[in-house]
Amino acid sequence: MVELVRQLRDEAATETPGPNLSPYRHFTREEWAQLRADTPLTLTISDLKRLQSINDPISLEEVIAIYLPLSRLLALYVAATQGLFKATQRFLGADDGKVPYIIGVAGSVAVGKSTTARVLQALLSRWANTPKVDLITTDGFLLPNAQLEREGLLERKGFPESYDSAKLLRFLSDVKAGRSHVEAPVYSHLTYDVVPDESVGVDRPDILIVEGVNVLLPSRLPRDGKETPFVSDFFDFSVYLDADEDQLEKWYVSRFMRLRSTAFRDPRSYFKKFSEVSDAEAEEVARSIWKRTNLRNLHENILPTRARASLILTKGSSHRIEEVALRKL
pLDDT tens per residue across span 32-59: 999 999 999 999 999 988 998 877 889 9
In this model, does residue 83 exceed pLDDT 60?
Answer: yes
Residue 253 to residue 262: CA distance in whole angstroms = 15
Residue 181: predicted pLDDT? 94
Residue 277 to residue 280: CA distance in whole angstroms = 8
In this model, does residue 1 exceed pLDDT 90?
Answer: no
By residue count, the chain amounts to 329
Helix (H), strand (E) at residue 8: helix 2-13
Residue 14: predicted pLDDT? 47
Residue 216 to residue 173: CA distance in whole angstroms = 16
* Residue among 157, 182, 181, 180 nearest 169 (CA): 182
Residue 57: predicted pLDDT? 85
pLDDT tens per residue across span 235-268: 999 999 999 999 999 999 999 999 998 999 999 9
Model confidence, pTM:
0.90
Residue 54: predicted pLDDT? 76
Q: Where are the beta strands (DSSP E) in the chain?
A: 24-28, 101-107, 133-137, 182-188, 193-202, 207-211, 237-242, 311-315, 321-327
Please name every residue paired with 209 in a beta bridge, in sequence order, or none if there are none.
103, 135
Residue 282: predicted pLDDT? 96
Residue 140 to residue 186: CA distance in whole angstroms = 5
Residue 329 to residue 24: CA distance in whole angstroms = 9
24-28 and 207-211 beta bridge pairing: unpaired
Residue 12: predicted pLDDT? 45
The CATH number corresponding to 2-327 among 3.40.50.300, 3.30.70.20, 1.10.510.10, 3.90.230.10 equals 3.40.50.300
pLDDT tens per residue across span 98-117: 789 999 999 999 999 999 99
Percent of the chain with pLDDT over 90: 80
In this model, does residue 272 exceed pLDDT 70?
Answer: yes
Residue 30: predicted pLDDT? 97
Weakest-pLDDT range from 12-16, 64-68, 127-131: 12-16
Residue 2: predicted pLDDT? 47
In this model, does residue 15 exceed pLDDT 50?
Answer: no
Residue 41 to residue 78: CA distance in whole angstroms = 19
- Radius of gyration, CA atoms only, the chain: 21
Cβ-count burial of 133 within 10 angstroms (0-12 exposed, 13-18 middle, 19+ buried)?
buried
What is the rounded average pLDDT of the residues 117-140?
Answer: 96
Work out the pLDDT band at 319, boundaries 50, 70, 90: very high
In this model, does residue 326 exceed pLDDT 60?
Answer: yes
pLDDT tens per residue across span 201-245: 999 999 999 999 999 998 765 666 666 788 999 999 999 999 999
